[in-house]
Amino acid sequence: SASIGGTTSSAAPATTAASPPETAVQIVPKPVSMTAGQGAFTLTAGTRIRATSPEERAVASSLAADLAPATGFQFEISSGSAQPGDIQLVLADPGTLGADTTHEGYQLDVTEGRITLVAPTQQGLFHGVQSIRQLLPAWIDSSVVRPGPWRIPAVSITDYPRYAYRGVMVDIARHYQTPETVEEIIDQASSYKLNTLHLHLSDDQGFRVVINGFPRLTEIGGRGSVGTQGRTMDPGGFWTQQQYRDVVAYAKAHAMDVVPEVDSPSHNNAIEMSEYGDTTNPLLDGHPQDIACGYKNPPVWNYTIDVGYSGMCPNSANTWAIYTAITNQLAAMSSSPYYHLGGDEAHPFTAAQFADFMKRQTQIVQATGKTPMGWADGYATVAGTTPPPGSIAESWARGAKDGAAAVQKGMKVVMAPADHAYLDQAYPNDTSGLGLNWACKGCDLDVNYNWDPGSFTGVPDSSVLGVEGALWSETTRTLKDWQYLLFPRLLAISELGWSPKASRTGVTSPAFQDFSGRVAAQGARFQAAGVNFYPTSQVPWP
């Protein structure tokens, strides 16, 4: 049969050919269209990667680096003329991506004799390389040399994303994590073609990046994390600005942009308790106590998971000295066109105070050249104001009611409905102790997969910029904890953001069966790469 891995075949090759298709092709997210060829391309120590432009060479280097550990091959990157046996990367319009408004798509053609990858952008080439990696045996993701053969089944793939924004949010505020841990998530997320890393950098329990002029934000605000397992406080930490820049650069090299978030005006006890007593800072007016509008005394450090009590006062000049420094410095270091100003669960405020705060914060973000983005429950409901054109609301309410409010205000929406896209929620009947339980009771893979970002009442698909999986970190202490909650569920978010809309209803639906079958093939990849994951019974692991 010409149908491989249950995917769409747009043309049938001759049925009388000598050899059948190699192996089932199991790519996540599912490509727009694929046609199986005959035979396979085999990687050898002599395989050359042909690349000439800087964009081609950058992607060629990352391909060579990805393939080196398991194969033991040091691939030559050549700018000479193309020869049989080459993997050729070409930055050009392949002529097959007319429907791709994102310019992130690619055309991949694998034959026995060569591999040709053509894309109009460096991101498109990067995404094509991720498909090549998934076409190889799972051991390709091993960090030590494995025996081949390294065969890539012949196939022709035309592929591009449904949405321009495909995000994963990680929370390094509730529990501090190192740059290296975040880079491990970038490795995995980018291999499933997500293109945005949303960093939740500050919350009631911690502030995690150095801000010049305000050293107490990290010296005091970074010193702990939420207490777990009987402890009142887990270890804290913070990133230097150089570490932050390095993570942004690492993400860029993996075709991902970084959206920073310092949640405000609430969710910021860490800022308040750090700056409240900062009476000698020349950037403040000597009596910064007036920043605190919340009802808890900010110097009392709180490592519980409580939220909703803190708030910075809009009528304090010190508030704006602090926020302007934070916003300007983070915006200058970040790669995404968006800057997330938070705005959720701002309970201690009157509607007028909240509106005042959001207006000022919006102006500060706009002055940096970034487009403001905020949690829809707050930012899309600011009384008497319309956020500036192009601004983004991130919708997390069940049924996207907050997203509908954003659409009414002319905003674009990133869909992160908590009952489907909050990847910090516990798995069903799970004894790991990881995950909260408020948004979906026992959130297995089908729950993350069986919804459609473009089909909510009041939020037409044309208003949807994309989709995001959110990993809050109240219960997670280690990289392994993060991976356990993220995988394989992040793959559902990746597929919703990338693949064309299909009917997704129920564990027994053909779409879910097809998806879970492809996820099954990722288990060996996770194992080869040393990535922890939840072995859900909904996936037919081999």
Site map (CB under 6 A) of ligand TNX, residues 320-359, x = contact: ------------------------xx--------------
Rounded Cα gap, residues 103 and 412, in angstroms: 19
Contact with ligand TNX (CB under 6 A) among 66, 402, 424, 446: 424
Looking at the Cβ atoms of 375 and 512, the one nearer to ligand TNX is 375
The least CB distance from residue 469 to ligand TNX, in Å, is 12
Tokens of 6: 């249950």
Give how many residues touch ligand TNX by CB under 6 A: 10
Looking at the Cβ atoms of 97 and 307, the one nearer to ligand TNX is 307
Q: Decide: is 396 part of the binding site for ligand TNX (CB under 6 A).
A: yes
Contact with ligand TNX (CB under 6 A) among 58, 436, 502, 524: 436
The least CB distance from residue 200 to ligand TNX, in Å, is 8
DSSP secondary structure letters along 150-178:
EEEEEEEEEE--S-SEEEEEEETTTS---
The least CB distance from residue 462 to ligand TNX, in Å, is 24
Are 32 and 51 contacting, i.e. CB atoms less than 8 angstroms apart?
no
Are 385 and 405 contacting, i.e. CB atoms less than 8 angstroms apart?
no
Residues 296-325 that bind ligand TNX (CB under 6 A): 307
Backbone angles phi, psi at 491, to 5 degrees: -65, -30
- Specify the long-range contacts of residues 441-445, CB closer than 8 Å, at least 24 apart: 443/419, 443/489, 444/536, 444/538, 445/488, 445/489, 445/492, 445/516, 445/519, 445/536, 445/538, 445/539
The least CB distance from residue 427 to ligand TNX, in Å, is 14
Are 454 and 497 contacting, i.e. CB atoms less than 8 angstroms apart?
no
Looking at the Cβ atoms of 141 and 424, the one nearer to ligand TNX is 424
Rounded Cα gap, residues 5 and 514, in angstroms: 8
The least CB distance from residue 397 to ligand TNX, in Å, is 8
Q: Decide: is 272 part of the binding site for ligand TNX (CB under 6 A).
A: no
Contact with ligand TNX (CB under 6 A) among 192, 357, 375, 526: 375
Looking at the Cβ atoms of 163 and 375, the one nearer to ligand TNX is 375
* Angle, helices 241-253/179-191, rounded to nearest 10 degrees: 10
Backbone angles phi, psi at 319, to 5 degrees: -55, -45
By Cβ distance, which residue is nearest to ligand TNX?
A: 472
The least CB distance from residue 160 to ligand TNX, in Å, is 30
Are 107 and 96 contacting, i.e. CB atoms less than 8 angstroms apart?
yes
Q: Please report, as ranges, the residues that interact with ligand TNX according to CB under 6 A.
A: 307, 344-345, 375, 396, 422, 424, 436, 472, 474
